[in-house]
Structure 1
Amino acid sequence: MATAPIPSVQKAWIYPEYGKSSEVLKLDENFPVPEVKEDQVLIKVVAASLNPIDFKRMLGIFRNTDSPRPIVPGYDVAGVVVKVGSQVKKFKVGDEVYGDINEKAVDGPKQFGTLAEYTAAEERVLALKPNNLSFVEAASLPLAIETAYEAFERAELSAGKSVLVLGGAGGVGTLAIQLAKQVFGASRVASTASTRKLDLLRSLGADSAIDYTKEKFEELPEKFDVVFDTVGEGEKAVKAAKEGGKVVAIIPPVTPPTIIFFLTSNGAILEKLKPYLESGKVKPVLDPNSPFPFSKTVEAFSHLETSRATGKVVVYPIP
Structure 2
Amino acid sequence: MAANSAVPAKMKAWVYREHGDVATVLRLDSELEVPEVQEGQVLVKVLAAALNPVDTMRVNGVFQLPGSALPAVPGYDLAGIVVKVGREVKDLKVGDEVYGFMWHAKKDGTLAEYAAVEVAFLALKPKKLSFEEAASLPVVIQTAYGGLERAGLSRGKSVLVLGGAGGVGTITIQLAKEVFGASRVAATSSTGKLDLLKSLGADLAIDYTKVNFEDLPEKFDVVYDAVGQSARAVKAVKPGGSVVTIVEHGKELPPPAFSFVATSDCSTLEKVKPFLESGKVKPVIDPKSPFPFAQAIEAFSYLQTGRATGKVVIHPVP
TM-score computed with the length of structure 1 as normaliser: 0.96
Conserved 8 A contact 2:241-2:256: no
User: What's the counterpart of residue 318 of structure 1?
Assistant: 317
Conserved 8 A contact 2:214-2:232: yes
User: What's the counterpart of residue 298 of structure 2?
Assistant: 299
User: What's the counterpart of residue 274 of structure 2?
Assistant: 275
SS of structure 1 residue aligned to 2:176: helix
Counterpart mapping for 1:228-239 below 5 A: 228-239=224-235
Greater Cα shift, 1-10 or 33-42: 1-10
User: What's the counterpart of residue 284 of structure 2?
Assistant: 285
Identity of aligned residues (%): 63
Counterpart mapping for 1:71-220 below 5 A: 71-103=72-104, 109-220=105-216
Conserved 8 A contact 2:191-2:209: yes
CA–CA separation in structure 2 for the residues paired with 1:155 and 1:233: 16
SS of structure 2 residue aligned to 1:178: helix
CA–CA separation in structure 2 for the residues paired with 1:185 and 1:275: 15
User: Structure 1: which 5+ residue stretches go unaligned?
Assistant: 104-108
Task: Give how far 1:3 is off.
Answer: 4.6
CA–CA separation in structure 2 for the residues paired with 1:201 and 1:156: 22
Conserved 8 A contact 2:194-2:207: yes
Residue type at the aligned position of 1:69: L
User: What's the counterpart of residue 256 of structure 1?
Assistant: 255
User: What's the counterpart of residue 45 of structure 1?
Assistant: 46
SS of structure 1 residue aligned to 2:198: helix
TM-superposition CA deviations, 1:232-268 (whole Å, max 9, x none): 0021011110011011011116423211021111011
CA–CA separation in structure 2 for the residues paired with 1:100 and 1:125: 6
Greater Cα shift, 234-243 or 175-184: 234-243
Conserved 8 A contact 2:4-2:84: no
User: Structure 2: which 5+ residue stretches go unaligned?
Assistant: none
Conserved 8 A contact 2:173-2:200: yes
Residue type at the aligned position of 2:202: A
CA–CA separation in structure 1 for the residues paired with 2:230 and 2:268: 28
Task: Give how far 1:63 is off.
Answer: 3.8
Conserved 8 A contact 1:2-1:93: no
Residue type at the aligned position of 2:55: D
Residue type at the aligned position of 2:209: T
SS of structure 1 residue aligned to 2:169: helix
CA RMSD of aligned residues (A): 1.1
CA, structure 1 residues 182+2, in 2 after alignment: closer, same or farther (shift >3 Å)? farther
Task: Give how far 1:62 is off.
Answer: 2.5
CA–CA separation in structure 2 for the residues paired with 1:263 and 1:64: 14
